[in-house]
Amino acid sequence: MRVITHAFAVLVVLFGGAVAVAGDAAADSQPLQGVYAYHEEGAPEGTTWTVTPTCSPTVGDLREPLYLPVGCTLHVTSATPAQVTFEERAANFGGDARLVAGRWQLVANKLEGTRCPDGGTRPSTDVYEFDNETLTGTRTVTQPGECGLLPSMEKRAFTLTFLRPLPRPVERYPFYCEPGGLRACW
């Protein structure tokens, strides 16, 4: 009986420690919010991303809402100081990023994302994937192969650097969830 009691005590301590570590990791991983400098080789200087999160509490086990980024969408606006060159115009877009396999993913379908040899433009799809903690990511550019170009896919690394908070405070979790029962949120 004493062996079973000791084994049970060890399991309780190990399980409690795992829950505490998981809780700390989740608490440290809040979604991005603010204005960030976007750095990519060949990208226009002064490109910024304005990131505004909208989150819904995760229900968990119905005792209390869990404020985790899995219930969030990041609204991203990319902007440059000027929109004169092709590169500057292509760097101005907006979209929503969602958490996919632990990384934020934003898909930007750009009407003028590819420059043709004759000077015209064609659509492209840019997929931005980035890590919340390291502020590093990759941009995958695909274009269907129009206007004399072969279909292609190119991966480019980028980083984000925090510049400043948003000009207006944002309520990260704007929904109210009733305190008991089904956890209905509105």
pTM of the model: 0.74
DSSP state letter for 7: H
Share of the chain above pLDDT 70, in %: 69
**pLDDT at 11 exceeding the cut of 60:** no
Q: Where are the domains of the chain?
A: 32-162
Count CB-CB contacts under 10 A for residue 160. 21
Task: Convert the pLDDT of each residue in 121-155 to its tens digit.
Answer: 888 899 999 999 999 999 999 888 888 888 889 99
Count CB-CB contacts under 10 A for residue 138. 15
Helical H segments across the chain, by residue range: 2-28, 86-90
CA 37 to centroid of chain Cα atoms? 15
- Under a CB-based contact definition with an 8 Å cutoff, are residues 163 and 184 in contact? no
pLDDT mean across residues, the chain: 79
Share of the chain above pLDDT 90, in %: 42
The residue with tokens 């956890």 is: 183
Give 72's strand partners.
Answer: 55
SS3 80: coil
* C-alpha to C-alpha distance for 55 and 172, rounded to whole angstroms: 6
- Under a CB-based contact definition with an 8 Å cutoff, are residues 149 and 117 in contact? yes
pLDDT band at 19 (very low <50, low <70, confident <90, very high): very low
* C-alpha to C-alpha distance for 2 and 29, rounded to whole angstroms: 41
32-162: what fold?
Lipocalin (2.40.128)
Q: Shortest CA distance to 104 belongs to which of 125, 143, 134?
A: 134
